[in-house]
Amino acid sequence: MSESLLPVVIRHAGKTHNVSVDLNEPGILFKSQIFSLTNVPPERQKVLVKGGQLKDDTDLKTLNLKPNQSIMVLGTPDSTGIPQKPKEKIVFLEDLEKQGKLTEFSADPLGFQNLGNTCYLNSTLQALNNVDELKGALQKYEGNDALVKELKQTFQRLQKGKISGNGRYIIPLSLLNSLRSIFPQFAEQDNHGYKQQDAEECFSQILSNLKSTLPNDFVDKYFGLRFKTYQKCQENDPEDQEVIGYDEGMKLSCHININTNFLKTGLSEGTKDIITKHNPHFSRDANYVIERKITRLPKYLTVHFVRFYWKREIRAKAKILRKVAFPFQLDVTDLLDESVKPTNIKTRDEIYKVEKEKEDEFKEQRRAKKMKPSEDRSRLLLSSKEKFELEEKEFQENEKKWLGEFSKVFPEDLGEGEAPSPLYDLVSVITHKGASADSGHYQAFTRNEKDLTGNSWWYFNDDKVLNVTKDKIESLAGGGESDNALILIYKASGL
């Protein structure tokens, strides 16, 4: 048992609950454990400890708790709004460790418990957790923003929780409370409790908060796009001069109409807007076309399928169910400005060559293993954890080797967080099931980076995590009320 874990006894409403508290965590996480046992929300809890009541930011090590010490908790359980206590008792990882039930190691990722229409948040967190640089930036964060601190702790717990057994999920209650405090729209309720929310809005708001909080322009560097804009009057105005401008953004939008069958078609249509403004030559309003061309690509490219729209007849967000196919490897050369296109095309073609070399080596290694299976017999004697650590080491060494090969063809002036070419690989998908944004269910899918064939993906349905194949991802293109891709995250090839 970890030295930071201490067994204590929670007393509430005449009942006792044995639990292990992590002294390295703040008071709010201890309150979350108490919530799972008593159904008393953290904001209603009065946890009586030495010196008064436990606060959210209390350093638990300062309380000088003793093993099996009794801690009195006062507060009324909530029967509405915040979800009910699960029928099955939640088993915490530290309790399993104490009971000696953690006999098998698993590298499988963890899920998140649904706290009542919070699948939109759970799917967003899984997609963001797939961005290694973001986890690294959060790890270094020492500021006071409540939401960012909760994200940091949540991703740390995901990483530390790769242990098998029951209770293989995290309860993101503290993070949810911070999100609702900063963005009140996510705290909207009806007669049934908290309402369903839009995962794309949640994703954008979290990214916006990180953009204003993380130092060194991290979000702009790794997620930010830059555009050159061209504005011209649609009518035959001999005096009209094309107006050049510049813009920035955090995503590309795929607009969907009756002619949209493929992602690239929708992206191309999303680069043009029509505005109406006064034309001095005609002395009246006229339509102008604004076209945006990309001048800077980020390492992580976010694509939003614009499936939801406001339908006045039903006074709700309706959903476009049309099937729109998307590729596992995306080339956005056609969206680039002519000023940056030649260099990007040259680098893209060189990356294709290195990818082919990497693929050929991988195929050769697989053939060699089949020819000499005896060399892998020693692995059979390893424990699950030892096997994972060995494979992780081999994977990292191989990735480092090929990153060196790819970097040889990158532009010399490539900036931090910038994509070397317009070529991208799909790494995460957030989906929506249902006919309306105000109902249905959100889920997430992330590529298993350890599988170099690209056939293995992780499927996150709240606290349920499964391994699925590439075929499942292809089925997310839409065409009905089943899972439709809403957000795609692509990672620059070669990085």
Task: For residues 312 and 201, give the distance between their C-alpha atoms in angstroms, rounded to a whole number.
Answer: 20
Active site residue 432: no
Residues whose CB is less than 8 angstroms from the CB of residue 494 and which lie 6 or more positions away in sequence, other chains included:
351, 354, 355, 403, 406, 407, 409, 410, 420, 421, 423
Q: Using an 8 Å Cβ cutoff, are 92 and 32 in contact?
A: no
Task: For residues 22 and 8, give the distance between their C-alpha atoms in angstroms, rounded to a whole number.
Answer: 11
Active site residue 441: yes
232-253 burial, b if ≥16 CB within 10 A, otherwise e? ebeeeeeebeeeeeeeeebbbb
Amino acid at 177: N
Task: For residues 174 and 39, give the distance between their C-alpha atoms in angstroms, rounded to a whole number.
Answer: 14
Q: Which of 119, 202, 233, 254 is catalytic?
A: 119
3-state secondary structure of 283: coil
How are beta strands 169-170 and 111-112 bridged, if at all?
parallel
Instruction: Report the DSSP beta bridge partners of residue 302.
Output: 489
Under the phi-then-psi rule, with left for phi > 0, alpha for psi from -120 to 50, and beta for the rest, what region is 494?
Answer: left
Active site (catalytic) residues: 119, 441
